[in-house]
Amino acid sequence: MTPPSWCARSRGPSVSFRDRLTRRVVDLRREFENPCSALKTVALRWSRGVYKKGRRPYEPSVTDERGRLVRSVGMAQTFLSPAQVDELVALYREGLTLAELGERFDIHRRTAAAHLVRRSVPLRQRGLPVAHVAEAARLYESGLTLMEVGMRFGVSQQAARRAVAAQGVVIRPGGRRPRLTA
């Protein structure tokens, strides 16, 4: 077995330590001249400074008239004060929807729902209210379309469909209604 070219035993005693070290560095360079794609990616990211950046921004939190905002992943979060949460609960109990509360307080509707759950406020179910389900089924059976039933109660066609089907009414096939001849 022949030792590799950079090995000291292959040169004999006449080669100095410095020459052997230089030759090793040169041979190692040859080993890394054609790096794999993963090594190229790491080197490119290192040169761009990706690994030098901290995970948290150094800028302080921003405040405005609504309160403190926290910047994270490009989205600004708004924290409501306890007085604002009290107002949110009162407005929800008056009948505003989660979407309307979200627009009013400049928060997402699910955030508004989370505030209500934390205050132990029961959430209203979306869709047709239980009190109107029997009336919706009667109107559908009388000949109105699901779209017309939904518009009458202020809900979508699908919400009307779910409510009517839950009452056991057979849903008519879609398409044009047959013409009634006099």
Which tens digits make up the pLDDT trace of 90-149? 999 998 888 899 999 988 889 999 999 999 999 987 788 888 899 999 999 998 999 999
Whether 135 maps to a domain, the answer reads: yes
Whether 136 maps to a domain, the answer reads: yes
66 and 112 co-located in one domain: yes
99 and 141 co-located in one domain: no
Please give the residue range of the domain that contains residue 103: 62-118
68 and 102 co-located in one domain: yes
- Is 90 exceeded by the pLDDT of residue 85? yes
Contact, 77 vs 69, CB < 8 A? yes
Whether 56 maps to a domain, the answer reads: no
**Distance from C-alpha of 108 to C-alpha of 111, rounded to nearest angstrom:** 5
Average pLDDT over residues 72-87: 77
**CATH code for the domain of 72:** 1.10.10.60
Strand order in the sheet with 67-72: 62-64, 67-72, 75-78
Total structural domains within the chain: 2
74 and 98 co-located in one domain: yes
Q: How far apart are the first and last CA of the chain?
A: 106
Whether 32 maps to a domain, the answer reads: no
Average pLDDT over residues 70-77: 56
- pLDDT tens across 28-71, in order? 555 566 777 777 787 777 777 777 666 555 555 666 676 666 55
State the pLDDT at residue 99.
87
Whether 174 maps to a domain, the answer reads: no
